[in-house]
Structure 1
Amino acid sequence: MPLSRQAAFAPIGEIVARQVLPRPHHARRLPLRISCIGTARYDGLGDPDGFDRTIVIGECPSPEDAMIFASQRVARGEVRIGSDDTLRSRPRIMVIQDNDQRLVLAGEVRAGIVLWRQPVGSDAEARRVVIKASRLRGMAFAASGHGDAASARDHRYRACLLEARLVDPFWRETAAELLQVPQAA
């Protein structure tokens, strides 16, 4: 009776390649930095007077910890620009990057939660996303040239949402696994 592939022992080379070698490579890319892209404005000024702002909110040792940290900060409303009480921030996109500034994961902030974006599945899909985002950025540039700041900000925001899927190839599998919905038994 032949043994099935699953019942057999894995070759040592496969164990080293899949489990041992990635660990040091992974460790060089840590800690992970969590940032928030959003808009800011001073009290008494309307939304058209706001400006885009990126805020670094912390570092974490793993993607799981970074997701939890970011989600908790958003849920508690703890994404602040600084100590100025007259400066209000509106978080729009949470971004997790590794030590080399490569995108690990990103998500849209809505109603006090982070909706993490599924990473692209291939380089071809990444190219399509880049083309769409570039078009939106071109539209933002044109709107800005016509003095339509609100429309320009909206186009830039939509481009950022698309680019949130451009997870670095090194992190794509990890990000996809983190976003898998548990299946009912």
Structure 2
Amino acid sequence: MTHASTAPFVSIGQILAEKVLPPLHRAQKLPLRVSCLGTISYAGATDADCRDRTIPLGDAASPEDAMTFAAMRVARNDILIGPDDTLHFRPRLIVVQDNALGLVLAGDIRAGVILWQHPVASDREACRIVAEASRIRGLAFAASGRGDHGSARDLRYQASRLEARLVDPLWREIATDLLRLPQAA
């Protein structure tokens, strides 16, 4: 009598490498840091007077907590530079990084909502995005050299939106799974 197995044999080494070690490695990279990229300016400032700025918002214990924390801050318009009312901040991107500065998630802010960017699916796709973002940053540099500060800022933002998909390989699967879940309205 022969016994037919429906499941292929999986070695303990493979189980450790695929199931046990990645969560342990991710746990070492906590807490996650949530920040917002945007533009600061004074009332009535010209494009040349505006500056790109990153504002730290806080820490989170998990990607899910980071998404919730960021969504609440954006929805409440609770992203401030400081007590100075003369400075205006225009939030553009939310970025979630681990404590080694690896990208976990990033999202574009539009009308008080974060549109989370789907991570790249492969290293090959990541290379294409890096090349395209570099090309766009080159165009931004040229626009800045011509004194076209508004176009330069928009091009830098466009490159940053592309780079928002460059999630660290350690976090790609988790980010992809999180973005598959139905979002509450």
What TM-score, normalized by structure 2, do the two folds share?
A: 0.89
Per-residue deviation at 1:80?
Answer: 0.7
Equivalent residue number for residue 126 of structure 1: 126
* Inter-partner Cα distance in structure 2 for 1:144 and 1:10: 56
* Inter-partner Cα distance in structure 2 for 1:148 and 1:77: 29
Per-residue deviation at 1:28?
Answer: 1.0
Equivalent residue number for residue 26 of structure 1: 26
Structure 1 residue runs without a partner (length 5+) = none
Equivalent residue number for residue 57 of structure 1: 57
* Inter-partner Cα distance in structure 1 for 2:172 and 2:28: 17
| Aligned residue identity for 1:73 | R
Equivalent residue number for residue 82 of structure 1: 82
Does residue 150 (structure 1) correspond to residue 150 (structure 2)? The answer is yes
- Within 5 A, what are the aligned runs for 1:1-185? 2=4, 4-5=6-7, 13=13, 15-46=15-46, 49-182=49-182
Comparing 126-135 and 11-20, the one that deviates more: 11-20
Per-residue deviation at 1:88?
Answer: 1.1
> How many pairs were matched up?
180
* Inter-partner Cα distance in structure 2 for 1:96 and 1:2: 47
Please give the per-residue CA displacement for 1:86-131, whole angstroms capped at 9, x wherever unaligned. Answer: 1111100000000000100101000000000000000110010011
| Aligned residue identity for 2:53 | R
Contact persistence 2:35–2:58 (CA under 8 A):
yes
Contact persistence 2:47–2:149 (CA under 8 A):
no
Per-residue deviation at 1:42?
Answer: 1.4
* Inter-partner Cα distance in structure 1 for 2:22 and 2:124: 25
* Inter-partner Cα distance in structure 1 for 2:18 and 2:130: 31
| Aligned residue identity for 2:6 | S
| Aligned residue identity for 1:140 | A
Structure 2 residue runs without a partner (length 5+) = none
* Inter-partner Cα distance in structure 2 for 1:133 and 1:11: 41
* Inter-partner Cα distance in structure 2 for 1:109 and 1:18: 34
Per-residue deviation at 1:75?
Answer: 0.4
| Sequence identity percentage | 58
Structure 1 residues 13 and 135: CA distance shift in structure 2, 3 A: closer
Per-residue deviation at 1:14?
Answer: 5.0
Give SS of 1:21's match.
helix
* Inter-partner Cα distance in structure 1 for 2:24 and 2:139: 43
* Inter-partner Cα distance in structure 2 for 1:86 and 1:17: 53
Per-residue deviation at 1:10?
Answer: 7.1
Give SS of 1:30's match.
coil
* Inter-partner Cα distance in structure 2 for 1:133 and 1:179: 23
Per-residue deviation at 1:83?
Answer: 1.4
Give SS of 2:180's match.
coil
* Inter-partner Cα distance in structure 1 for 2:87 and 2:36: 15
